[in-house]
């Protein structure tokens, strides 16, 4: 799958705005299909929340990580509105939260979704802030449409391959295996899911994954598209090849207890983002914004204040 690349076509005169020409092999990975079979894939509409602010400066747009959703940033969004005056928007990625599902889960596709989103809301520029998978989506977006991003913040992620994907494969397998009968209360369904997941998933991750358990037509199901994520896990863990660079102000904000941004990543960060700063927040793991929310807010506000545009 990594051998294929999406070809992006733009048409800013209509809301469709972007089309992806993609290989059918991405949708049917278990079928023998010739590489010449391609089809057009339109971006999907994204669910979002708006936290309004008085400033006319470009808004902050938050992109969550794998298995996350827009509510991950709700409390931070409210505080950032108060401290910056800017409008803040939080988005559900495709196949996550309340956004549409699609069999395609590549960074090119997710980037095209953001382009459609900005076009629909008539936003000419924004400050893009992405955590983990959302950070990679943000990087791909600015490398394709740099004129639409005032500045970029990548939270505990770098433009490199995530080495160990076995943990994510285990999460998906465990979630697929959860069996919950119809017609039971939410508290009971959550307890049953937790009991079935606990043997293979550590408590912190387990509680995070359980936020995706929702009631649909008297049946508790996962609102994330596990099949699409599973089929594209290698794409999500990797990063597309780019020969261009984003020259705008960029902050890579990692957790000191996390290994997602290491010195081994610095050369590639500087190649793609020459104006990048790299910081690590003490006593924070991969979920920097959850582990040290005030320090996270301070770092983002200082970054915006130090780089007026």
Structure-model confidence comparison of residues 296 and 163, the more confident one: 296
107 within 8 A of 140, measured Cβ to Cβ = yes
Report the alpha-carbon distance of residue 113 to residue 135 in Å, rounded: 14
59 within 8 A of 43, measured Cβ to Cβ = no
3-state secondary structure of 243: coil
Output the CA–CA distances (angstroms, integers) from residue 2 to 12, 13, 105, 158, in the order listed: 28, 32, 12, 18
- Model confidence over 225-273: pLDDT tens digits? 999 999 999 999 999 999 999 999 999 999 999 999 999 999 999 999 9
- Model confidence over 120-133: pLDDT tens digits? 999 999 999 999 99
- Model confidence over 36-52: pLDDT tens digits? 444 456 799 999 999 99
pLDDT number for residue 42 = 78
Catalytically active residues, by annotation: 132, 227, 286
- Model confidence over 172-185: pLDDT tens digits? 999 999 999 999 99
CA dihedral (71, 76, 82, 88) in degrees, to 10, reads: -50
Report the alpha-carbon distance of residue 47 to residue 244 in Å, rounded: 30
pLDDT number for residue 16 = 41
116 within 8 A of 47, measured Cβ to Cβ = no
Q: Which CATH class is domain 37-162+238-305?
A: alpha beta
Output the CA–CA distances (angstroms, integers) from residue 236 to 75, 103, 125, 163, 284, in the order listed: 27, 13, 26, 11, 23
3-state secondary structure of 88: strand
Domain boundaries, the chain: 37-162+238-305, 165-232
| Beta-bridge mates of residue 126 | 149
3-state secondary structure of 250: strand
Nearest to 279 by CA among 258, 260, 252: 252
């Amino acid at each position: 799958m990594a051998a294929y690349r999406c070809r992006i076509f733009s048409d800013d005169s209509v809301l469709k705005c972007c089309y992806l020409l993609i290989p059918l092999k991405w949708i049917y990975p278990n079928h023998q299909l010739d590489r010449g079979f391609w089809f057009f894939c339109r971006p999907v509409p994204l669910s979002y929340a708006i936290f309004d602010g008085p400033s006319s400066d470009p808004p902050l747009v938050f992109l969550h990580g794998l298995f996350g959703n827009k509510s991950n940033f709700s409390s931070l969004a409210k505080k950032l509105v108060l401290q910056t005056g800017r409008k803040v928007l939080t988005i559900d990625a495709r196949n996550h939260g309340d956004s549409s599902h699609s069999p395609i889960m590549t960074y090119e596709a997710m980037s095209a979704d953001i382009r459609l989103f900005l076009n629909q809301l008539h936003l000419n520029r924004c400050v893009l802030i992405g955590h983990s998978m959302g950070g990679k989506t943000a990087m791909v977006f600015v490398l394709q449409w740099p004129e639409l991003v005032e500045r970029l913040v990548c939270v505990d992620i770098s433009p490199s391959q995530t080495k160990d994907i076995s943990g994510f494969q285990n999460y998906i397998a465990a979630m697929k295996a959860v069996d919950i009968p119809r017609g039971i209360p939410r508290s009971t369904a959550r307890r049953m899911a937790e009991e079935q997941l606990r043997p293979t998933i550590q408590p912190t991750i387990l509680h995070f994954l359980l936020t995706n358990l929702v009631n649909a037509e008297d049946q508790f199901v996962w609102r994330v598209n596990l099949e699409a994520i599973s089929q594209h896990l290698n794409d999500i863990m990797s990063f597309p090849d780019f020969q261009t660079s984003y020259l705008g102000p960029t902050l890579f904000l990692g957790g000191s207890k996390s290994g997602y941004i290491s010195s081994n990543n610095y050369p590639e960060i500087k190649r793609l983002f020459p104006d990048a700063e790299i910081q690590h927040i003490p006593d924070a793991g991969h979920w920097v914004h959850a582990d040290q929310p005030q320090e996270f807010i301070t770092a983002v506000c200082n970054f915006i204040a130090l780089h007026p545009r």
